[in-house]
Structure 1
Amino acid sequence: MRFLRQGLFGLFLLSLTLGLLAYAGQIVVSAVQERMAQEPRAPERRERVFAVRTVTAEEARIAPVLTAFGQIESRRTLEIRAQVTGILTELSPDFVEGGAVQTGQFLARIDPADSETAVSRARTDLDDARAEEREAARALDLAKDELAARRDQAKIQDRALARQRDLEDRGVGTLTAVETAEYNVVQARQAVLASRQALALAEARVDQAKTAAARAELALSEAERRLAETRITAGFSGTLSDVTVIEGRLVTANEQMATLVDGTALEVAFRVSTSQYARLLGQDGTLLPAPVTVTLDTGGLDLTATGQITRQSASLAEGESGRMLFATLSEAPAMKPGDFVAVTVEEPPLDAVIRLPATALGPDGTVLALGADERLESLPVTLLRRQDNDILVRGAELSGREVVSERSPVLGPGIKVRRLSPEANAGATLSLSPDRRARLRAYVEGDRAMPEPMRARLLAELERPEVPAQTVERLERRMGG
C-alpha cells in the first residue's frame, strides 16, 4: 500500500508539471500571435527648436571708418650743413643729440680767420675803387673846364679871322695876316677836338671807376656773407638729431652736421587701396579733407591724436599700388617722427544703412531674419562696408526685423528658433584694496610720457569705489605686475 501511495503521488506531480508547462507554452504562443497581429506604429517625433541670438535691424545715417597703418613724419626737417671748410671752434651746449633749440639760436662756429682776412681785403679794394672813382670825377671836371677854355679860344680866333678879312676887304690888311689868322683858327679847332677826346676819356674813366667800385662792393658783400656762414644758427624751433660733430673737428663745405626736426609740425603718411581712395573723393573728384584719428600702441595705454587729410602723393613708385595720403595732425606731443601708428579715417556718411555683426552675413550674401511662427527667413542684403567685427548693409524689407547675429551651419530658412535674452555687458568692475589703489595711482602720477588728459581720466577712475577691470588690467600689465 505504501508503494502504491507513493507511486500515485509521483504520478500526480508529473501530471501537474506537464500541465503547467503546457499552459506556459500556450501563453507564449498567444502573446507572439497577438504581437504579430498588431499594426506597426512610428514613434511621435517633436520638431527641434534652435536657440539663437538676434539683433534688431535699424536704419541710420552712419559714417564708415576706414582703417590703415602709417608712419609719423615731420613737415619741417632741415639738414644742418657746413657752408664753408674749417675747424669747429665753438659749439652750443644744446648742439647734441636730442637738444631742443629755438629760432635763431646759435649752434656752432667755424674758424672765421680766413673769412675775416677776406673781408678786410675786400674793404681795402673797395676803398681803392672809391678813391679812383673820386679821382676820375675830378679829372672829368678838369676836362670839361679845359674844353670850355679851348672853345673860348676858338671863338677868339674866329673873330680875329673875321677882322683880318674885313681889313683886307678895305685894303688895309694883308693876305699874309689873313692866312695867319686862318691857321690860328684851324689850330684852335684842333685843340677843341683834342679837349673833347680828353673829356670822352675822362667820362669813360668815371664809368670804369663806378664799375670797379660796384665790383668791389659785391666782393665785400660776398666776403661778409662767407664770414656770416661761419656762424651756424637754428632756422626754426625744433629738436636736433643725427649729430655727428664735436668741437675741434675739421668740417668740409656741404658736410651734414645734424638734422633739425620740428616736433610740432607733424603729419602721418599712410597708404590705402584704390577702392578706399575712391571713397574719399568728392563729387568733383578732389580729395576730401576727411578727419583722421592716429593711435600709437604703447603697450596698454594708447596715445591718440587727431587731424585731417591734406594731400596725396603725386605718383606711384615701381611695384607700389593704392594711394599714399598725408594727414596733418593738430596736436601730438607724445608722438615722434618715425612712429608706426594705426590710422582711422572717417568717410562721408551713408544714409539708410544697417549695422549688423559680421557673423550675421552668410556666404551667399543673405541674412536670416525671424518670420511668422518664429521661423527663419533668408533676406538678401548688399554689403557696403566692413567695420572691424561689424558690417554695414542695405536690404529690402530688412529695417525693423530681428536678424540672427551668429549664424551656424544648422540654421537655414524655415528652421524654428527661439530667442536668447541679450546678455548684460555693462563692464566688470573691481573693488581695490588701499595698497593696490595707491600703487596704481603712484604709477599713473609718475609716468611722464603719459598725456595730461589721459592721466586725469585714469586718476578720476581710480578714485571711484568700483574701478573698471579693464583699466586695472591695462595698468598692471604695463607695470609688469
Structure 2
Amino acid sequence: MSFVRRILTGVFLMSLTLGLLAYAGSLVFGAVQARMNAEPRSFPQRETVIAVNVATVEPQRISPVLNVFGEVQSRRTVDLRAAVGGTVIAVGENFVEGGRVTQGEMLLQIDPADAESALARVEADLQDALAAERDAERALQLARDELSASEAQAALRATALQRQRDLQSRGIGTAPEIEAAELAASTAEQTVLSRRQAVTQAEAQIDQAATRTARVRIDLAEAQRTLDGTTILAAFDGTLTAVGVAEGGRVTGNEQVAQLIDPSALEVSFRVSTAQYSSLIGPDGRLQGLPVAVNLDVAGVDLTASGQISRDSATVGEGQTGRLIFASITDAPGFRPGDFVTVAVEQPPMDGVALIPATALASDMTVLVVGEGERLRSAEVELIARQGDDVLIRAPDLAGAQVVAARTPLLGAGIRVRPISPADLAASARGEPPPPPAMIALDDDRRARLVAFVEGNSRMPAEAKSRILSQLEQPEVPAEIVENIESRMGS
C-alpha cells in the first residue's frame, strides 16, 4: 500500500509540474506574440541646440596694424682696421668691449718708429728736390744773362760788318776785312743760338725739378698718412664692440681691431610678403612713410620705441621672398643692434570695415550668421586684411549681425544655436550671476497638460519631478523648462 501511495504522489507531482511548465510556456508565447503584433512606439525627437561663441559685426573706421618680426641695426657701423702693421704700444682707456667713446678720442697707438723714419727720409728727399729746383732757377737766370750778352755781341758784330761794307762802298775797305767782319758776325749769331738752347735746357731742368718736388711732396703726404695711421681715433661718438687687440699685441695691415657702432642712429629691418608690401604702397606707387611701433620683450619687461618707414631694399635677395623694409627709430633706450623685435606697422585707416576673429572666416570667404530663430545661415564677406588672430572684413549687409566666432565641423547652415556673446563670457569670468531666464505665463489647460506629463513620467527622478512641479505651480514659468517638456511630449 505504501508503495502504491508513493507512486501516485510522484505521478501527481509530475503532472502538476508539467502543467505549470505548460502554463508558463503559454504565458511566454502569448507575451512574445503580443510584443510582435504591437505597433512600435514612437518617441519625439528633440532638436540639438549647440552653444557657440559669437562676435558682432560692427563696421567702423579702423587702421589696420601689420605685425611682423624684425632686427635692430645701426645706420652707422664702422670696422676699425689698422692702416699699418706693428706692435701696439698704447690703447685708450675706453678701448674695451662696450666702451663708450667720443669723436676724436685715441683708441689705439701702434709703434710709429718705422713710419717716422720713412717720413724723415721723405722730408730729406724733399729738401734735395727743393735745392735742385733752386739750382735750376739760378741756372736759368745765368743762361738768360748769357743769352742777353751774346745777343748784344751779335748786334755789335753786325754793326761792324755794316761799317766795313760802307767803307768798301767808298773804296776805303778791303775784301779781307769784310770777310773777317762777316765771319765774326756769323760766329756771334751761332753763339746766340747756343745760348738760346742753354736757356731752353735750363727751363726744362726747372720743370723736371718741379715734377720731382711734386712727387716727393706726394711721398711726404703718404708718409704722413702712414704715420697718422699708427694712431686710430674714434670717427664719431659710439660704442665699441668686437675688441680683439690689447697693449703689447701685434697687428698686421688692414687687420680689424674693433667695431664702432653709433647706438643713437638705430633702425629696424623687417621682411614682409609681396601682398603685405602692396598694402604699404601709396597712390603714387612708392613706399609710404608709415609710423611703426617696435617692441622688445626682455625678461618680462617690454621696451618700446616708435619710428617711421624710411626705405626698402632695391633687390629681393638670393633665396629670399617678399620685400625687405627699413624703418628709422628714435628715442629707443635699451635697444641694441642685433635685437630681435616685434614691429607693428600702422597702415592708413579704412572706413566701413569690421574686426572679427580669424576663426570665424572659412576658406571660401563665408561666415555663419545667427539668423531668425537662432538658426545659422551662411553669408559671403570681403576679406580686407589679416591682423594677427583677427581679420578685417567688409560686409555692409551684416552690420550689427552676430557671427560664429569659431567654426567647427558640427556647425552649418540651418543648425540651431545658443549664442554666447563676449559680454557673457566676461561676466562669467568676473563671477557675475547669469541674467535671469525668460519667463512666460501659462493658461490652465497648458499648465494641466504639462503637470500631467511630468507626474506620469516614471523615469524622471523624484527630486527633479518635485522641483519641476513646484515651478509649474508658479504664475510664470521659465520658458526653457516649458520648451523642454513640450519637446518631450511631442507637441
Query: Would you say same fold, with TM above 0.5?
Result: yes
Of stretches 110-119 and 289-298 in structure 1, the one that deviates more from structure 2 is: 289-298
Give the CA deviation at 1:417. 4.5
Give the CA deviation at 1:81. 0.7
What are the Cα deviations for residues 401-455 of structure 1, in whole angstroms up to 9, with x where unaligned? 23333445554434444554623759999xxxxxxxxxxxxxxxxxxxxxxxxxx
Query: What secondary structure, in the 3-state scheme, does the structure 2 residue paired with 1:190 have?
Result: helix
Please, what TM-score do these two structures have when normalized by structure 1? Answer: 0.76
The aligned length equals 396
Contact 1:379-1:395 at 8 Å conserved across structures? no
Alpha-carbon distance between aligned partners in 2 of 1:240 and 1:146, rounded to the nearest angstrom: 69
Cα distance change on mapping 1:223 and 1:44 into 2, 3 Å: closer
Contact 2:59-2:396 at 8 Å conserved across structures? no
Alpha-carbon distance between aligned partners in 1 of 2:172 and 2:387, rounded to the nearest angstrom: 129
Residue 58 (structure 1) aligns with: 58
Residue 224 (structure 2) aligns with: 224
What are the Cα deviations for residues 131-168 of structure 1, in whole angstroms up to 9, with x where unaligned? 22122212211111111111111111111111111111
Amino acid at match of 2:87: I
Alpha-carbon distance between aligned partners in 1 of 2:209 and 2:409, rounded to the nearest angstrom: 101
Alpha-carbon distance between aligned partners in 2 of 1:39 and 1:120, rounded to the nearest angstrom: 127
Amino acid at match of 1:67: N
Alpha-carbon distance between aligned partners in 2 of 1:163 and 1:36, rounded to the nearest angstrom: 176
Residue 195 (structure 1) aligns with: 195
Cα distance change on mapping 1:52 and 1:114 into 2, 3 Å: closer
What are the Cα deviations for residues 311-356 of structure 1, in whole angstroms up to 9, with x where unaligned? 2223334432222222221222211111111222223333321111
Alpha-carbon distance between aligned partners in 2 of 1:131 and 1:306, rounded to the nearest angstrom: 65
Give the CA deviation at 1:49. 4.8
Please, what TM-score do these two structures have when normalized by structure 2? Answer: 0.74
Give the CA deviation at 1:190. 1.2
Contact 1:312-1:326 at 8 Å conserved across structures? yes
Give the CA deviation at 1:244. 1.0
Contact 2:359-2:406 at 8 Å conserved across structures? yes
Amino acid at match of 2:235: G
Alignment partner of 1:250 is 2:250: yes
Contact 2:352-2:396 at 8 Å conserved across structures? no
Query: What secondary structure, in the 3-state scheme, does the structure 2 residue paired with 1:278 have?
Result: helix
Amino acid at match of 1:59: P
What are the Cα deviations for residues 237-261 of structure 1, in whole angstroms up to 9, with x where unaligned? 1111111111111211111111111
Query: What secondary structure, in the 3-state scheme, does the structure 2 residue paired with 1:79 have?
Result: strand
Amino acid at match of 2:99: G
Alpha-carbon distance between aligned partners in 1 of 2:243 and 2:400, rounded to the nearest angstrom: 64
Q: Percent identity?
A: 52
Of stretches 189-198 and 305-314 in structure 1, the one that deviates more from structure 2 is: 305-314
Of stretches 218-227 and 313-322 in structure 1, the one that deviates more from structure 2 is: 313-322
Considering only aligned residues, what root-mean-square deviation do their CA atoms show, in Å? 2.8
What are the Cα deviations for residues 43-75 of structure 1, in whole angstroms up to 9, with x where unaligned? 666655554444332211222222221222111
What are the Cα deviations for residues 19-47 of structure 1, in whole angstroms up to 9, with x where unaligned? xxxxxxxxxxxxxxxx9999998566665
Alpha-carbon distance between aligned partners in 1 of 2:225 and 2:39, rounded to the nearest angstrom: 119
Give the CA deviation at 1:197. 1.4
Cα distance change on mapping 1:252 and 1:46 into 2, 3 Å: closer
Alpha-carbon distance between aligned partners in 1 of 2:427 and 2:87, rounded to the nearest angstrom: 68
Which stretches in structure 1 are left out of the alignment for 5+ residues? 1-34, 430-481
Residue 360 (structure 1) aligns with: 360
Of stretches 64-73 and 182-191 in structure 1, the one that deviates more from structure 2 is: 64-73
Residue 341 (structure 2) aligns with: 341
Give the CA deviation at 1:386. 2.4
Contact 2:88-2:111 at 8 Å conserved across structures? yes
Residue 92 (structure 1) aligns with: 92
